[in-house]
C-alpha cells in the first residue's frame, strides 16, 4: 500500500470529476467566451461575497496578480515571515511588482493588528510606502493554523483606517472554514482580494481563482495576460473546479479527523519528540533521529512524506488518503521503537 502524505496537491480527479470535465461546455476564455470558466468565476465570487473572479493556472499566479493589483512599484507589503507569497513564490513580489516585504514573527504564521500597526511606514521619502497586508489562512508553514473572522476583523479595520489593501492567500481557506465554522460569505467584506485554490484539498487537477471587485478583476485579467496566464478552452479544468466546490468541501472534515488520529499516534510514538498543535489537515512533528532516517523507515512501509527541517516532518491529509491507509500508518508508527 502506498500512502502519499507529501502534499494535498497529489490528489487525482475522481471518476465523477472526470465525467464533469469530459462534459464541459468550452469556448475561448481570452475572448471571455468559455461558459464553464465564467460559471466557476461567478460561483466562487458568490461563495465569498465578492463581485467577480479570475480563473488562473496556479495559486502562485493568483497571489502574484493580487499583489500586482494592490501595489505600485516602490511600495512595501506586510506579511508573516513564513508567508507562501514571500518564501515559495520565487521572489515574485520583487520581480513582478517591484515591491519589498516587511516580515513579521507571527505565532505559527498568524499575525495580529497589534503586530502590523507599528510596521506601517510613516509617509517619508526614506521609506517604501506600505500599501498591502497579506494573510494566509490556513498557514502552511504554521502547520495548518487558522485565523477566525474575529482575528481578521481588527486587521481589516486597521487596513481600512490606514488606507492599506488586504489580500488573503486562501490556498486552504476551506480547511480554515471547516475548522472555525466561519461563513465564506462573510469573508468578502474584509478582504480586497482573496485567492482560493481548487487543486489542494478540493482535489481538482489544476486551478486557483482570484476574487475581488469587478474593477480590480478587470485589471487582473490584463495582468494575467501579461504573466502568460491567459488560457483558451480551459473550461475542462474549470469544470473540475465547479465539481470540487460542489462535492469536495463538505468532506474536508474527514481529512481533519484523519489528522487527529495520526497526531495521536505520533504523540505515542517514541521516534517522535514533539507534535505541533493540529488544527486542520497538516501535521508537523519533530523526530528524535534525523528526519531523513525516519522518512526512509516510513518509505519502507509505503508511506511518503516530506521534511521541512532537519528534524521535522510534515504529513498532509487529503481526499486520496482513505481510512484503511490511516490505519496502516497508525500500525507502522506503533511498530517504531
Ligand X SMILES: *Cc1c(COP(=O)(O)O)cnc(C)c1O
Q: Per CB under 6 A, which region of 58-66, 127-135, 155-163, 301-309 contacts ligand X?
A: 58-66
* Residue in this structure with the C-alpha cell 469544470, named with its chain if needed: 239
Q: Per CB under 6 A, which region of 17-25, 53-61, 90-98, 265-273 contacts ligand X?
A: 53-61
Residue 138 or 265: the one with the smaller Cβ distance to ligand X is: 138
Binding positions for ligand X, 130-189, rule CB under 6 A = 136, 140, 169, 171
Considering CB under 6 A, how many residues would be counted as binding ligand X?
A: 11
Least distance in angstroms from the C-beta of 324 to ligand X: 27
Least distance in angstroms from the C-beta of 208 to ligand X: 6
Burial 266-290 (b: 16+ CB within 10 A, else e): beebebbeebbebbbbbbbbbbeee
Residue 144 or 235: the one with the smaller Cβ distance to ligand X is: 144
Gap between the Cα atoms of 76 and 103, Å rounded: 10
Residue 269 or 321: the one with the smaller Cβ distance to ligand X is: 321
Among 27, 33, 35, 58, binds ligand X (CB under 6 A): 58
Residue 41 or 169: the one with the smaller Cβ distance to ligand X is: 169
Beta strands in 163-214 (DSSP E): 165-170, 193-197, 208-212
Least distance in angstroms from the C-beta of 297 to ligand X: 27
Among 59, 106, 144, 201, binds ligand X (CB under 6 A): 59
Binding positions for ligand X, 197-226, rule CB under 6 A = 197, 208
Residue 63 or 265: the one with the smaller Cβ distance to ligand X is: 63
Residue 197 or 291: the one with the smaller Cβ distance to ligand X is: 197
Residue with CB nearest ligand X?
59
CB neighbour list of residue 181: distance below 8 Å, 6 or more residues apart: none
Residue 132 or 171: the one with the smaller Cβ distance to ligand X is: 171
Least distance in angstroms from the C-beta of 163 to ligand X: 25
Nearest of 272, 288, 278, 289 to residue 317 by alpha carbon: 278
Residue 75 or 136: the one with the smaller Cβ distance to ligand X is: 136
Among 11, 36, 60, 178, binds ligand X (CB under 6 A): 60
First-to-final CA distance of the chain? 22
Least distance in angstroms from the C-beta of 125 to ligand X: 34
294, with CB counted inside 10 A (0-12, 13-18, 19+), is: buried
Provide the Cα torsion 61, 63, 64, 70; round to 10°.
140
Q: How many residues does the chain have?
A: 337
Gap between the Cα atoms of 173 and 195, Å rounded: 9
Q: Per CB under 6 A, which region of 56-64, 216-224, 240-248, 261-269 contacts ligand X?
A: 56-64
Gap between the Cα atoms of 187 and 42, Å rounded: 16
24, with CB counted inside 10 A (0-12, 13-18, 19+), is: buried
CB neighbour list of residue 55: distance below 8 Å, 6 or more residues apart: 29, 37, 40, 41, 207, 208, 209, 231, 234, 237, 238, 241
Least distance in angstroms from the C-beta of 83 to ligand X: 8
Gap between the Cα atoms of 24 and 43, Å rounded: 16
Alpha helices in 163-233 (DSSP H): 173-180, 214-226
Residue 71 in the binding site for ligand X (CB under 6 A): no
Interface contacts to ligand X, rule CB under 6 A: 58-60, 63, 84, 136, 140, 169, 171, 197, 208
Amino acid at each position: 500500500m502506498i500512502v502519499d502524505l507529501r502534499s494535498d496537491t497529489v490528489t487525482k480527479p475522481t471518476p465523477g470529476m472526470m465525467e464533469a470535465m469530459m462534459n464541459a461546455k468550452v469556448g475561448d476564455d481570452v475572448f471571455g467566451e468559455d461558459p464553464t470558466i465564467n460559471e466557476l468565476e461567478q460561483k466562487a465570487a458568490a461563495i465569498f461575497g465578492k463581485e467577480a473572479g479570475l480563473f488562473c493556472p496556479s495559486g502562485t499566479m493568483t497571489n502574484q496578480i493580487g499583489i500586482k493589483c494592490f501595489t505600485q512599484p516602490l511600495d512595501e507589503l506586510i506579511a508573516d515571515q513564513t508567508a507562501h507569497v514571500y518564501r515559495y513564490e520565487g521572489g515574485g513580489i520583487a520581480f513582478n511588482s517591484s515591491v519589498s516585504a516587511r516580515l513579521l514573527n507571527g505565532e505559527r504564521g498568524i499575525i495580529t493588528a497589534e503586530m502590523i500597526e507599528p510596521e506601517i511606514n510613516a509617509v517619508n521619502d526614506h521609506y517604501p510606502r506600505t500599501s498591502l497586508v497579506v494573510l494566509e489562512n490556513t498557514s502552511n508553514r504554521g502547520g495548518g493554523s487558522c485565523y477566525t473572522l474575529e482575528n481578521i476583523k481588527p486587521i481589516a479595520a486597521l487596513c481600512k483606517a490606514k488606507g492599506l489593501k488586504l489580500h488573503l492567500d486562501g490556498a486552504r481557506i476551506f480547511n480554515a472554514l471547516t475548522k472555525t465554522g466561519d461563513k465564506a460569505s462573510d469573508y468578502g467584506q474584509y478582504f480586497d482580494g482573496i485567492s482560493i485554490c481548487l487543486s489542494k484539498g478540493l482535489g481538482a487537477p489544476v486551478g486557483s481563482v482570484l476574487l475581488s471587485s469587478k474593477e480590480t478583476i478587470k485589471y487582473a485579467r490584463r495582468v494575467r495576460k501579461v504573466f502568460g496566464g491567459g488560457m483558451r478552452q480551459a473550461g475542462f479544468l474549470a469544470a473540475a473546479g465547479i465539481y470540487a466546490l460542489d462535492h469536495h468541501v463538505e468532506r474536508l472534515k474527514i481529512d481533519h479527523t484523519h489528522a487527529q488520529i495520526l497526531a495521536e499516534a505520533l504523540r505515542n510514538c517514541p521516534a517522535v519528540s514533539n507534535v505541533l498543535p493540529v488544527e486542520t489537515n497538516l501535521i508537523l512533528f519533530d523526530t528524535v533521529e534525523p528526519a531523513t532516517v525516519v522518512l526512509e523507515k516510513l518509505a519502507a512501509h509505503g508511506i511518503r512524506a516530506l521534511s521541512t527541517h532537519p528534524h521535522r516532518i510534515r504529513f498532509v491529509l487529503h481526499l486520496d488518503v482513505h481510512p484503511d491507509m490511516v490505519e496502516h500508518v497508525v500500525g507502522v508508527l506503533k511498530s517504531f521503537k
